[in-house]
A = this chain, B = another copy of it.
Amino acid sequence: MPELRHDPIQKRWVIIATERGRRPSDFARLEPEQSGGFCPFCEGNEDKTPPEVLVLGRDGRAPNSPGWDIRVVPNKFPALRIEGEIDRIGVGIFDKMNGIGAHEVVIESPHHEINLGDQLVEHFKKIMTVYQVRLKDLMQDLRFRYVLIFKNQGVTAGASLSHPHTQIIATPVTPRTVAMELESARNHYDVKERCLFCDIIRQEMESGERVICEVDGMVAFAPFAARFPFEIFIAPIKHSHDFSEMTEDSLFALARCLKEVLARLKIALNDPPYNFMLHTAPNTKSKTRRLNYWATLPMDFHWHFEIIPRLVRTAGFEWGTGFYINPTPPEDAARYLREIEL
């Protein structure tokens, strides 16, 4: 069972893999991307993954057989384990808990070579729907405080398998980055009775200088204080705190907007490696928090995607300070991306 440990200095949770811990010789080099070899995510290899928890497009045939459009399976090497009750322990000045959680993989397509940005928009919408269905389902588990949906595209971005896939991790704690966003949004709301994200989106759309595109009520822009070159923020223009409450029309709009942004990135930056992650409201059903903690959440949080192309290396300065040197002003990044001819 992995462990969750808390750092009292940085107030950060870390997952420590206590079984099969990697030894010095395991780090001889960073793993190369699989190429040409066997792929457990390809059609026909369904028995090489744990049994699917969700499938689209395979009607009337046996589970875990070919003929599917999208599959969701538990991760074969999960960072957190689904079985058991949460057990919180103090260790002197430190805190730890057993590594309860869920770790799933969305196999976006049976085809090994079609990247997310190249999917037809109808298929892209199905992927967004799968995100939503899994998010809703995992939020039913009251042990989980947060569900993170994220994608690592390309080996530089941390992908260990090149077959197009997204990962979902449900955690029994609210991650620090999300906790910080929730706190900032709450503080803003307490003073102004307006959503911080709505205020930012309004200002970005009025100025327009960092906007990349606007599609059916979704907007994509380069953040004012972007950490990385060509970092992108995508959110609904209309206030909405919870991705799992989006309508089908909104999912379609998101699919079109995200697909357009990925297409622009691909052309501008020659198919770059990237990460994206969804930040949505934490699990308000979870009873482990004090009752009124989430009282204003529907007013003060605003779900969004963050996309980070992996173009520069992070070094000691970034790790040492938590602040970043961005060599491309977001106004320039937005203009380059806006001016791409699709």
Contacts and interface: CB of A to CB of B under 8 A. Distances in A.
Interface of A: 5-18, 21-24, 26-28, 30, 79, 91-94, 146, 148, 150-152, 155-159, 167, 169, 171, 175-178, 180-181, 184-185, 188, 196-197, 199-200, 203, 207, 223-227, 229-230, 268-270, 272, 275-279, 306, 308-309, 311-317, 319-330, 332, 336
A98 to B, nearest CB: 14
Contacts of A224: 5, 7, 91, 94
A316 B167 contact: yes
Question: Which 8 A-B pairs have CB atoms at the shortest separation, nearest pair first?
Answer: A158-B315, A277-B320, A175-B321, A150-B316, A275-B316, A177-B322, A7-B225, A176-B322
Nearest to A276: B316
A300 to B, nearest CB: 12
B199 A93 contact: yes
A152 B9 contact: no
Contacts of A17: 325-329
A338 B92 CA distance: 23
A10 B229 contact: no
Contacts of A184: 8-11
A196 B14 CA distance: 19
A148 to B, nearest CB: 6
A316 B15 contact: no
Contact of A330 (B16, B24, B226): B16
Given A8-B196, A158-B313, A320-B277, A21 B327 contact: yes
Nearest to A146: B321
Contacts of A167: 316-317
21 contacts: A10-B180, A13-B225, A14-B225, A17-B325, A17-B327, A21-B332, A24-B336, A27-B229, A27-B269, A27-B312, A30-B311, A93-B196, A146-B321, A155-B313, A158-B317, A169-B317, A177-B322, A275-B316, A277-B317, A279-B320, A306-B320
B324 A10 contact: no
A325 B14 CA distance: 6
B225 A12 contact: yes
A316 B24 contact: no
Nearest to A6: B225
Contact of A157 (B8, B94, B171, B316): B316
